[in-house]
Amino acid sequence: MYTPTLDPLASGIGWSAAVACLPLLTVFVTLGVLRWKAHFAGLAGLAVALLVAVLAYDMPVTLAGLSATQGFVFGLFPIVWIVICAIWLYELTVASGRFEHLRQVIDAISDDPRIQAIIIAFGFGGLLEALAGFGAPVAITGVMLLAVGFAPMRAAVVVLLANTAPVAFGAIGIPIITAGNLTGIDYHEIGAYVGHQTPLVALFVPLFIAFLTDGRRGVRQTWPVAVAVGVVFAVAQWVSATWISVELTDIVASLAGIAAAVVVLRFWKPAETEAARERLLRDRDGEVDPTGTGTAPSLPASGTTRITTSATATTTSAETLTGRRTLMALFPYLLVIVVFSLAKLWAPLRGFLASTDISVPWPGLDGNILTAAGSPATTTIYKFTWLSTPGTLLLICGAVVAVVYRVGAGRAARIFGETLVKLRYSALTVGAVLALAYVMNQSGQTITIGTWIAGTGAFFAYLSPILGWLGTAVTGSDTSANALFATLQQTAATSAGLDPTLLVAANTSGGVVGKMISPQNLAIAATAVGLVGRESDIFRKVIWWSLSLLLALCLLVGLQSSVLSWMLP
Query: pTM of the prediction?
Result: 0.81
DSSP annotation of 165: G
pLDDT digits (tens, 9 = 90+) for 11-65: 888 999 999 989 988 988 887 788 888 889 889 999 999 999 999 999 999 999 9
pLDDT digits (tens, 9 = 90+) for 473-485: 877 788 878 877 8
Where does residue 215 rank: exposed (0-12), middle (13-18), buried (19+ CB within 10 A)? exposed
pLDDT tops 60 at residue 252: yes
pLDDT digits (tens, 9 = 90+) for 356-407: 999 999 999 988 998 877 888 888 889 898 998 888 998 999 999 999 999 9
- Give the C-alpha separation, 241 to 153, whole Å: 34
CB 111 within 8 A of CB 342: no
- Give the C-alpha separation, 164 to 155, whole Å: 15
Assign 300 a pLDDT band (cuts: 50, 70, 90): very low
CB 279 within 8 A of CB 209: no
Amino acid occupying residue 496: A
Buried b / exposed e along 355-384 (16+ C-beta atoms within 10 A): eeeeeeebeebbebbebeeeeebebbebee
- Give the C-alpha separation, 163 to 156, whole Å: 11
Find the helix packing angle between 535-560 and 500-514, rounded to 10°.
Answer: 160
pLDDT tops 90 at residue 86: no
DSSP annotation of 459: G
Kindly list the distances between the CA atom of residue 391 and the CA atoms of 38, 72, 293, 398, in Å, as whole numbers in the listed order: 23, 17, 22, 10
Q: 411-417 — which CB contacts under 8 Å span 24+ positions?
A: 411/95, 412/92, 412/95, 415/88, 415/91, 415/92, 415/95, 415/311, 415/312, 416/84, 416/88
CB 451 within 8 A of CB 413: no
pLDDT digits (tens, 9 = 90+) for 268-291: 998 888 888 888 877 775 654 433
Which residues are CB-neighbours of 285 under 8 A, at least 6 positions away?
none
Assign 309 a pLDDT band (cuts: 50, 70, 90): very low
311 vs 403: which has the higher pLDDT: 403
- Give the C-alpha separation, 29 to 528, whole Å: 24
Can you give the residue ranges of every domain in the chain?
A: 13-288+324-364+379-446
